[in-house]
Structure 1
């Protein structure tokens, strides 16, 4: 065998070895990604009302084996609707939706519905929470469902007053199923880590759930934009509350607190003023901070990050909300349709 042939043979063997190792590595990573619950995300679309919504008729197993179900009507619930059920509509963002690491049965929407079910009522838990949405999105969802709602529950973080109207974008959220779980993993890494490293960052940062950063020289411009967003969202919120009152739909509202280093932040004066303005109209107010504090677990156990509840947090809020639902139904004498 000539020296050239031996060299070509070594290159071929090295190439085959590299391909084999790469293939095995990809298979191992694919299996690992599927093991942790990636590869079968919830699919979204742009609805005529409410902007971004999860497609109806989905049931997937996600992170830590959590089941995520979107029923045929587009609500996250693991209970079928019956003709005699009390229809409780839960509005909100990702806090209400619950994420992909919390099982359907552990959401505060289902826990509170179970408290009401324990009184002998059938309950259809209509969880219409959608990731990243503002109050304008949520008010639109209510406008499309107000004729099929018996009780309205509207819980949201204050950041929802400052968000723009949310629709499905090019990069997020998923609109098709990936062929491989690694695609979802890489997509997440690219969006969360890689893209930001190729942007010019500024020292001034705004709320990470509203804008990740503000370009230099545009601070005043973006401040005015956020003020206008706030005006539009709060106006939409008030319009939704007025519509529910006009239709004699019982209402429960509450602002979900954020936490940092195990301490729940106090609500802003504007947030308190908004809640006070609707409580004078006969709207029931759920004190979510009190519900979490009374649980005695500490914010570090009630949250998985600064904004979103853990299963413990969902349980505490769900039980308090369920007790409020029982009071509301008793006060109004409401029965199922």
Structure 2
């Protein structure tokens, strides 16, 4: 039998080598795909909708396992919350913001500062409406223009850079409306995104100080309008400015232009950097709060949750009756 196989191989040497190479390539591709899916969570990214009004948001009802096995679940309203929300806003807290609030794909739902901030607020539940790469105008577009107001309390947590983003669209970002066919495709499209962006410069490279002021002031004015609309309807709205790592370490000052615009529009902001300074943490502990220069580590989410939770506790009138859970036959609400 071995002689027969050897004879066939020698008679079809080139074809056999081609087949062997193809098999090796297929096995290698399969192993790479397995690693990308199992170890990195690639191949099934969070899917987004698209809107000219608010840009884009995660589609509702999706559950994903991403980097490091972190579990991301989006409820019926597209919020990072474990259970669906009903139509009653009482006792609900909606967190709004960009990727800092969203938490990234390496943070599970129960590890987000939005979830941790409400642990000691009896009767209140939280939903995380943060979206990757959003700006202030995306938030306003969703809440004001589309009337997305499912909660009693609204907590906006943004870095100062969000006041310079304008309305961000999904197109041109490494996000998906339709799922990729594989982890390799997702990785390849991210590489193409990075390469494509090398032909662009930041808009600030073409803007003078007057134009930068115009952009920041417009965003602050829009946010102030949202604040007024919410308060007119009897809602509570609290704005937090989350610092970059350099600001938290005291190496950079707050953005004077953003602060000026907020003051001009009469919008109060809680600067988390001020609360951090009051804690007197050493530099190494502050470093440990960050995943990178802007986004938070798990420890950072814990501390932000504590700071925000304490601020909310001082602003809310009193405890609400605990919401009925699905186990008691009542409406299903977010944790």
TM-score when normalising by structure 2: 0.81
**Cα drift, residue 252 of structure 1:** 1.5
1:205 aligned partner: none
**Cα drift, residue 304 of structure 1:** 1.1
- What residue ranges of structure 2 are gaps of 5+ in the alignment? 1-7, 324-335
1:255 to 241, 254, 276: 241
1:243 aligned partner: 229
Instruction: Say what the alpha-carbon RMSD is for the aligned residues.
Output: 3.0
- What residue ranges of structure 1 are gaps of 5+ in the alignment? 200-211
Q: 2: CA distance between counterparts of 1:164 and 1:51?
A: 10
Matched, 1:154 2:159: no
Distance verdict in 2 for CA 1:15–1:267, change over 3 Å? same
SS in 2 for 1:253: strand
8 Å CA contact 2:248–2:276 kept in 1: the answer is no
2:201 aligned partner: 213
Q: 1: CA distance between counterparts of 2:247 and 2:238?
A: 29
Deviates more, 1:44-53 or 1:313-322: 44-53
Deviates more, 1:137-146 or 1:33-42: 137-146
**Residues 128-187 of structure 1, C-alpha deviations (whole Å, 9 max, x = no match):** 111111111101222244653311111101111111312221663111122211111222
Distance verdict in 2 for CA 1:130–1:171, change over 3 Å? closer
1:203 aligned partner: none
1:76 aligned partner: 80
Q: 2: CA distance between counterparts of 1:6 and 1:178?
A: 39
Q: 2: CA distance between counterparts of 1:22 and 1:187?
A: 21
2:292 to 305, 310, 315: 305
Q: 1: CA distance between counterparts of 2:51 and 2:28?
A: 40
2:35 aligned partner: 32
Deviates more, 1:32-41 or 1:170-179: 170-179
8 Å CA contact 2:216–2:257 kept in 1: the answer is no
Q: How many residues align?
A: 308
Matched, 1:129 2:116: no
2:328 aligned partner: none
Spell out the pairing of 1:1-337 with structure 2 (5 A cutoff): 9-35=12-38, 36-47=40-51, 49-81=53-85, 86-116=91-121, 120-121=122-123, 123-143=124-144, 144-145=146-147, 147-169=149-171, 172-192=174-194, 194-196=195-197, 199=199, 213-214=201-202, 219-221=205-207, 226-260=212-246, 263=249, 265-276=252-263, 283=268, 285-293=269-277, 294=279, 296=281, 298-330=285-317, 333=318, 335=320
TM-score when normalising by structure 1: 0.81
SS in 2 for 1:53: coil
**Residues 222-256 of structure 1, C-alpha deviations (whole Å, 9 max, x = no match):** 77665443232122111111212222322211111
